[in-house]
Amino acid sequence: MPAEPENAQDPLPPAATVLGRRGALLAAGAVLAAGIGAAADELAHKELTARHGRSAAPPPEGAAVPFHGPRQAGVTTSQQPATQLLAFDLPQTTVAAGRQTLRGVLDALTRTLADAGSEAPSDLRLAGGGTTRLSSLVGVGPALATRLSLDVPAGFAELPAFPGDRLDPARGGGDLLVQLCAADRWTLTVVAELVGTAARSAGALPRWTQSGFLSPTAPGTTPRNLFGFKDGTANPDAAQDEQFVWGPPGAHQNGTVLVYRRIRMDVAGFAALPGDRRERMIGRRAGDGVPLTGTAEHDDPDIYAKNPDGSYVIPADAHVRLTSPRLDGGARMLRRSYSYDDGPADRGLLFCAFMRDPGQFVRVQDRLATRDALAPFLQHQASAVAYVLPGAADGGSLGDRLWT
């Protein structure tokens, strides 16, 4: 296979990591992982296989998504139809007072989310129609981690500015990020209110919130974005998650980094382009998501394949070429994006991607910002990055390992 000229890296080395490698393995993580119930494992396995469109029994009807476990469920649980993101700030005080407030907020969020997602939520509004199937995650932002000297992965930092960014600080950033996912808006509205109340009463200040939704998607199939293309096809499998999504063995192996971008899309402008032009801009067919070089949706796009006239089958400015893992030493990010609709002039994608090394997002977005054929139809309006904490053990709290 020819080497990609612009990025001379080994084809498939482990991802370059910015997460601190701790020499001594924290045995606690492994013990905890082993101690989690078989039911949770089975469910997680089914969720994972569903995520990749392989045949998998759908999760048991009505089963709650386990909240407790080594990892937070909101990362790899199969994508649910709706999401709500909430960001909070913490008051700027002394380190000791800030740590105390953060502990209080994380305790309150742990209690609230565990209860809301359980088989028997205490809020009657969540108890009417079977379990909520709520999955959630909580993360901390880089500024808070620095202010309070939290034990987050080395190199976890704010994202740099990218060409074309039009970021509204009031819609991005934040000390704490919570993502809720569920089957319906009712659940999200109720849980978002409970989360807001819990966080505020423990001292956090609401910063922004954003709702999103998926296209109707049968189990095992890929949702579409508002440009009409399947979005989320080329995601890592479970083994690749271990290599590229979750932290390296050690203190952060059950954490990951979430990159969030609120991207407004010129849906009408894109729809006005000829269909074959749109497919060349993406590098895949619109109807079935098959790469222009392949015959099945999950075929790897071959960015080296050429037409008889010497041009690339997947054009130089196609989205799947510029985002190809082949340009990043094989590294993959787990994309779990949602659409949003905040009025006719403001619709787009809530790009949500999980990765061990946020530098991977930076490399990809650096290419996209200036060369992506989609760029004239996109505007990045908000941005956030969060270290998604390891899960809470039964009886424990999220963030138990932030203080060491």
Shortest distance in whole angstroms from residue 6 CB to ligand HEM: 16
Specify whether 231 is catalytic.
Answer: yes
The verdict on 320 binding ligand HEM (CB under 6 A) reads yes
The verdict on 360 binding ligand HEM (CB under 6 A) reads no
Separation of alpha carbons 108 and 140, rounded Å: 15
Task: List Cβ neighbours of 31 (8 Å cut-off, separation of 6 or more).
Answer: none
Q: Which of 361, 387, 391, 399 binds ligand HEM (CB under 6 A)?
A: 361
CB 368 within 8 A of CB 359: no
Q: Which of 78, 101, 132, 365 binds ligand HEM (CB under 6 A)?
A: 365
User: Which of these is catalytic: 10, 89, 151, 231?
Assistant: 231
Identify which of 209, 189, 205, 68 has the alpha carbon closest to the alpha carbon of residue 126: 189
Here the tokens at position 143 are 């500024």
Query: What is the number of residues in the chain?
Result: 404
Closest to ligand HEM by CB, 245 vs 378, is 378
- The shares of helix, strand and coil residues in the chain, as percent rounded to the nearest 5, are 30, 20, 50
Of residues 190 through 229, those in contact with ligand HEM by CB under 6 A are 225, 227, 229
Query: Which window, 95-103, 106-114, 116-124, 230-238, contacts ligand HEM (CB under 6 A)?
Result: 230-238
The SS3 of residue 306 is strand
Closest to ligand HEM by CB, 75 vs 349, is 349
Of residues 274 through 303, those in contact with ligand HEM by CB under 6 A are 282, 284, 301
Biggest alpha carbon–alpha carbon distance for the chain:
67
> Measured in whole angstroms, how far is the alpha carbon of residue 404 from the centre of its chain?
26
The verdict on 263 binding ligand HEM (CB under 6 A) reads yes
Query: What angle, 0 to 180 degrees and rounded to 10, lies between the N-to-C axes of helices 95-116 and 185-201?
Result: 150
Identify which of 214, 181, 233 has the alpha carbon closest to the alpha carbon of residue 53: 233
Closest to ligand HEM by CB, 114 vs 281, is 281
Shortest distance in whole angstroms from residue 133 CB to ligand HEM: 24
Q: How many residues bind ligand HEM (CB under 6 A)?
A: 28
Closest to ligand HEM by CB, 204 vs 259, is 259
Angle, vertex CA 63, rays to CA 59 and CA 68, nearest 5: 105
Tell me, what amino acid is at 16? A
Q: Annotated active-site positions, please?
A: 231
Q: Which residues bind ligand HEM (CB under 6 A)?
A: 225, 227, 229-234, 261, 263, 265, 282, 284, 301, 319-320, 323-325, 333, 348-349, 351, 361, 364-365, 368, 378
